[in-house]
């Protein structure tokens, strides 16, 4: 009885939380509606009550990660000020959103496939990267960032560093406070101690 | 006939080159000896003439990547001098080895599993990371690197940046010359332009 009560409280959001864990563990292609039904402890028809199917769940899950990322670009600190400060804000917030929405961003970063939803997610990710690269270019043009590293390459290495956090970060294992700050330090000022 | 001639020229090295591509494409678990036989264009018994099986091929492939990485630590520039200079050498050379041995390092970075060979590869990777972290700690202790980023976190972000290169770098698409240098610039001095 208790279990049934739990079952009826499922919302799209709680279903999504389970789904994204299963997708990350088994891969999107390797996950069946049966797997999701088992993991959520509800029948397939109950899932279909909420969504049309697996691909809609993927769209909602990566959509959540993408919304988190694109929201950053609309924040006041990302929209006005010196390009270098705007970029610094975006880098810090990107790391923070990754940590806050870890399973969703992890899923987004693993999207590889050929379904329309996966194509759309890849396209949106490229658009985000592109906007950050433009900000980086603007900061180089202003002389705020060094010009001896190609902006496209710098953007790739920057995102490589940020995105790699999903490989080792586990919530609760360590406070996430220092991570975004460390990313900013390393990205903008490097590891070398300032010469006195 | 021509094909047969080609077949007889297979060496462990050329078999390994085919194997590593298949492992990277299908995953180690998802690859059968049948797949390898088809990809290499030789019979399974010919493969068994060279190696005992799939796991030995994995050991040889990740071993090649690991040998490349550990050799760096024995190079003179990694063994003597200021810790910061030794670390800089190791970071540059790690990026270079990754680019030179791209498919082998890619495979190494994807190892996750539970076979003894996979466990051994993970163990060796950790040992390499550990030795680099020690070098980083030594450079912080000497005051050559900033002390406000925790060494373990700094090492993770550093390798995150370097290892992410396998996600986008394709040989021939762009010269690899600038990449290792860009990694060193970003890691040690950051993106910010030096203030005049």
Residue A196 forms part of a structural domain = no
Question: Which chain A positions have a beta carbon within 8 Å of B158's beta carbon?
Answer: 161, 186, 191
Q: B168 to chain A, minimum CA–CA distance in Å? A: 8
pLDDT digits (tens, 9 = 90+) for A139-160: 999 999 999 889 999 999 999 9
Question: Which chain A positions have a beta carbon within 8 Å of B146's beta carbon?
Answer: 185, 189, 191-194
What local confidence, expressed as pLDDT, does residue A135 receive?
96
CA of B185: how far to CAs of A2, A87, B88, in Å?
59, 18, 10
* CA Rg value for chain B: 20
* A181 pLDDT more than 90: yes
Residues A73 and A8 in one domain: no
Residues A28 and A69 in one domain: no
In this complex, the residue of B84, B158, B182 whose CB is nearest that of residue A149 is: B182
How deeply is A44 buried, as exposed, middle or buried, from its count of CB atoms within 10 A (0-12, 13-18, 19+)? middle
Residues A77 and A7 in one domain: no
Q: A140 to chain B, minimum CA–CA distance in Å? A: 8
Q: At which of B51, B66, B86 does a domain end? A: B51
- What's the rounded Cα separation, in Å, for the pair A55 and A114? 12
Domain count, chain A: 2
Nearest to A115 by CA among A47, A50, A56: A56
Residues B36 and B84 in one domain: no
Question: Which chain A positions have a beta carbon within 8 Å of B189's beta carbon?
Answer: 146, 189-190, 192
Residues A1 and A72 in one domain: no
Nearest to B162 by CA among B142, B141, B179, B143: B179
Residues B86 and B175 in one domain: yes
With CB atoms and an 8 Å threshold, state whether A157 touches B182.
yes
Q: What is the CATH number of the domain that holds A100?
A: 1.10.357.10
In this complex, the residue of B147, B156, B183 whose CB is nearest that of residue A157 is: B183
With CB atoms and an 8 Å threshold, state whether A187 touches B191.
yes
Q: Which residue range is the domain that position A39 belongs to?
A: 1-51
Contact at 8 Å (CB) between B186 and A187?
A: yes
A71 dihedral zone (left: phi>0; alpha: psi -120 to 50; beta):
alpha
- What's the rounded Cα separation, in Å, for the pair A22 and A145? 41
With CB atoms and an 8 Å threshold, state whether A167 touches B158.
no
Residues A91 and A150 in one domain: yes
Residues B172 and B89 in one domain: yes
Contact at 8 Å (CB) between A98 and A159?
A: no
Q: At which of A33, A51, A69 does a domain end? A: A51
ipTM over cut 0.85: yes
Which residue do the tokens 């610094």 mark? Answer: A88
Minimum CA–CA partner of B159 in chain A: A161
In this complex, the residue of B84, B147, B165 whose CB is nearest that of residue A160 is: B165
Residue B96 forms part of a structural domain = yes
Task: List per-residue pLDDT tens for chain B, 196 residues long.
Answer: 444 444 457 888 899 999 999 999 999 999 999 999 999 999 999 999 999 999 999 999 999 999 999 999 999 999 999 999 999 999 999 999 999 999 999 999 999 888 999 999 999 999 999 999 999 999 999 999 999 889 999 999 999 999 999 999 988 766 666 899 999 999 999 999 887 4
């Amino acid at each position: 009885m208790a279990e049934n009560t739990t079952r009826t409280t499922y919302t799209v959001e709680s279903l999504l939380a389970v789904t994204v864990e299963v997708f990350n563990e088994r891969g999107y292609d390797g996950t069946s509606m049966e797997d999701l039904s088992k993991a959520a402890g509800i029948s397939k028809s109950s899932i279909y009550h909420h969504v049309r199917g697996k691909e809609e769940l993927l769209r909602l899950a990566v959509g959540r990660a993408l919304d988190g990322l694109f929201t950053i670009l609309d924040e006041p600190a990302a929209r006005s000020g010196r390009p270098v400060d705007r970029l610094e804000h975006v880098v810090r917030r990107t790391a923070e959103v990754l940590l806050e929405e870890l399973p969703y961003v992890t899923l987004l970063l693993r999207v590889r496939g050929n379904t329309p939803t996966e194509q759309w997610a890849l396209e949106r990710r490229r658009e985000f990267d592109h906007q950050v690269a433009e900000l980086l270019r603007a900061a180089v043009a202003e002389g705020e960032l060094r010009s001896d590293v190609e902006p496209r390459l710098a953007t790739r290495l920057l995102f490589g560093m940020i995105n790699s956090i999903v490989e080792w970060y586990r919530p609760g294992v360590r406070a996430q406070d220092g991570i975004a700050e460390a990313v900013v330090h390393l990205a903008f000022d490097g590891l070398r101690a300032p010469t006195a």
